[in-house]
Amino acid sequence: MRSSAVRVSAIFNSKKFFVLLMSLILFSAAFAQLSGATEVNKAGTDFLALMPWPASVQLEAGKFRITEKFQAGGEAQPGSRVFKAVSRFMSRLAGRTGLFLEQDYLADQSLKPETRLVYKYQRTGQLVPGEDESYTLSVKAERIELSAATDLGILRGLETLLQLLSIDDQGYYFPCCLIKDKPRFTWRGLLIDSCRHFMPLEVIKRNLLAMAAVKLNVLHWHLSEDQGFRVECKTFPRLHQLGSDGMYYTQEQIRDIINFASDLGIRVMPEFDIPGHSTSWFVGYPEYASSPGPYRIERGFGVFHPVFNPANPAVYRFFDRFFREMAALFPDPYMHIGGDEVEGTHWKENPGIKAFMKKHNLPDNHALQAYFNKEILKILTKYNKKMVGWDEIYQPGLPKDIVIQSWRGTQALVDGARKGYQGILSSGYYIDLCESAERHYLNDPIPSDSPLTEEEKKLILGGEATMWAELVTHETVDSRIWPRTAAIAERLWSPQEIADVDDMYRRLETISVQLEELGVQHLRNQRMMLRRLINAVNYSQEEFESLLKLATISEPVKGYARHSLGKKYSSLSPLTRFVDCCFPESLEGRKFCKLVENYLNSARKENLKEIKNYLESYKKIISPAVSLSGRVPALKEIVPLADNLRETVLIMEKALEFFEKGHRPEAEWVKFNQQRLKEAKKPQGECLLSIIPAAGKLLEALEKNHGK
């Protein structure tokens, strides 16, 4: 049962399509709002790559010099969160500077007269929404003080301090400053989908470390899906035994992750998606489904029929025992029950369910799901968990401590908040869609024109980036998460007014490299993946670098387009092709487009030489890239992409010539080339050229201002 046409098309009738649509609409709205926002005072801080930008940064004269004698100390005991965090801090500092720090920071952080970084906090923080994460960081030439109400604040401050590391002629230093910082939102999450593709433990760990570096504090762990049930379940062992292809986390591993996350000040909220998205549960336990089965693990992607049977009392006994076990395993106060995309066919086909609906006066599937949710809520409440679910779980009469996670958009959050419900935003943060960091960055959980009262606004707890895993594996998932998620992290932590897109990108590139020391593979796997594809042929260094350059200025098609370009993806499909080697957003492409924009907007057209250099560098790679790709079957699909690059460069060169000479092209010429560009814009190998918008801008300008 591979994904049928029905299933593929189902994507476009589903949440995902809606998500896409909403994100388009929201983006325009958000952009309009934020582009006019007033800039906060960041005078003189342009050289700093802090991210998320703190609530208040006051630069002072002077530098704190870092030598091998540098010592950190406070009252934390070995084994405690802060002690470990300081050990990591020292190790990373040594790693970046090559300094042989003398302190045995693994064993001794006692306060001594020579201690130069002194940390102080009042209590151990709780991993719950609303906990105090604020800190004050004072860097003076002789001494650094980091103080906070909770140890969580210390963790956040240590990340800021490490980001302050600077270099001058005399060596390494921290610039003197006073930073007072606290998060704007208390719920700053990343969803990792371990189901569509299983994510080995180290993927989770390295991403937790990276999350902590940008002050995210919730791992929303998507643990059950049609394609796999990923947790060892002792009460119902056939769940993981038959529902995972052997790819699941043991309970010890789960506890290991929870402890690891806790050390980083990160909550781990599990999601068990019910009643839909549940095929894998029924492989071992078909008796709880709405249709008799048999079931097998789903390999395709989309929205599928299998669904729990809300009319079967045994289902609730099952969930009682299931959630009793999981509530004990996961200490987080929240339990996410998914609740999205219930498709309903199997409900309709089951006479028992029809009768049940009639008997209980449930007019439609939504009412039936509401009934189901209420029963589940009782169970969760019994085991001391608060319920979280996607928009669909909302129904009148739910208790006010539930949280609604919105993929529908800020309006849904507004509606919820007005009724007194807490919400978190994920619409606009779907990082699997390969959109730009800018787009996510300008998407605000509480837009500046929000109609909510101050009290109501408090119900918007924050947001979550969502890393759905249909089209990523352990090799590529990091490059889909980072660095763009750092921009989302800033949106959720920093003051609303921090919204200068160019400055965000400036800092993003530095942060991106810093994240590598934590193990995330977003940058380093690109070359590795390209090497794999060409390893069976002989090639020159020039050919390889050309292919790489082509990847650097290409992007995967956006949204869900990869599902409709000919390849039928399943969880076994290779995600090792050229398109998988491309980053979701080409930072070079963005720079180039900016450059052309500036050229068009500036009177003196001084960027011309730089633009021409770029174009020259692109021209140079075409032949080698085509030659290499032509020899490798897996790369043949991108030969047309290189051809499109050639076309685009030619068009741009010609267009620039008009500008340079002050000539005016024939309208025919513009039309003709717009048509050529339209062709060049078509995806090839599921990729787009990131520089095409620049070409479009040039033609547009020629069209509008003939010969200006």
225: annotated active-site residue: no
Residue 396 within binding range of a copy of itself, rule CB under 8 A = no
Q: Which of 116, 336, 577, 590 binds a copy of itself (CB under 8 A)?
A: 577
Task: Please say whether the beta carbons of 231 and 223 come within 8 A.
Answer: yes
Residue 165 within binding range of a copy of itself, rule CB under 8 A = yes
Question: Quick one: 631 or 681, whose CB is closer to a copy of itself?
Answer: 631
Among the candidate windows 126-134, 379-387, 520-528, 595-603, which touches a copy of itself by CB under 8 A?
Answer: 520-528
Q: Which of 44, 292, 399, 633 binds a copy of itself (CB under 8 A)?
A: 633
Task: Please say whether the beta carbons of 216 and 164 come within 8 A.
Answer: no
Residue 567 within binding range of a copy of itself, rule CB under 8 A = yes
Question: Quick one: 355 or 513, whose CB is closer to a copy of itself?
Answer: 513
Closest CA to 214 of 264, 271, 139: 264
Closest CA to 699 of 613, 600, 615: 600
Residue 471 within binding range of a copy of itself, rule CB under 8 A = no
Question: Quick one: 120 or 531, whose CB is closer to a copy of itself?
Answer: 531
Residue 477 within binding range of a copy of itself, rule CB under 8 A = no
Residue 566 region by backbone torsions, left for phi larger than 0, else alpha for psi between -120 and 50, else beta: left
Task: Please say whether the beta carbons of 161 and 72 come within 8 A.
Answer: no
Q: Map 64-101 to HEC letters.
A: EECCCCCCEECCCCCCCHHHHHHHHHHHHHHHHHCCCC
Question: Quick one: 314 or 536, whose CB is closer to a copy of itself?
Answer: 536
CA distance from start to end of the chain = 60
Residue 610 within binding range of a copy of itself, rule CB under 8 A = no
Tell the smallest beta-carbon distance from residue 630 to a copy of itself (Å): 10
Tell the smallest beta-carbon distance from residue 362 to a copy of itself (Å): 37
Residue 324 within binding range of a copy of itself, rule CB under 8 A = no
Task: Please say whether the beta carbons of 441 and 539 come within 8 A.
Answer: no
Provide the CA 221 distance to its chain's centre, in angstroms.
Answer: 13
Would you give the binding string for a copy of itself spanning residues 189-228, x where CB under 8 A is met? -----------xxx--------------------------
The angle at the Cα of 71, spanning 66 to 73, to the nearest 5 degrees, equals 140
Residue 591 within binding range of a copy of itself, rule CB under 8 A = no
Of 133, 271, 298, 341, which one is the catalytic site residue? 341
Q: Which amino acid is located at 452 in the chain?
A: L
Among the candidate windows 10-18, 98-106, 152-160, 218-226, which touches a copy of itself by CB under 8 A?
Answer: 98-106
Runs of H (alpha helix) within 583-661: 587-601, 608-631, 639-661
Q: In the window 74-93, what residues touch a copy of itself (CB under 8 A)?
A: 79, 84, 91
Question: Quick one: 202 or 502, whose CB is closer to a copy of itself?
Answer: 202
| Residue 433 structure tokens | 């869609």
Give the span between the Cα atoms of 532 and 581, in whole angstroms. 11
Q: In the window 111-130, what residues touch a copy of itself (CB under 8 A)?
A: none
Q: What is the DSSP code string of 114-129?
A: T--EEEEEEEPPPSST
Q: Map 148-171 to HEC letters.
A: EEEHHHHHHHHHHHHHCCEEECCE
Which residues of the chain form contacts with a copy of itself (CB under 8 A)? 79, 84, 91, 94-101, 104-107, 165-167, 171-172, 200-202, 245-246, 250, 252, 256, 296-297, 299, 510, 513-514, 516-517, 521, 523-525, 527-528, 531-533, 535-537, 567-568, 570, 572-574, 576-577, 631-634
Report the catalytic residues.
341
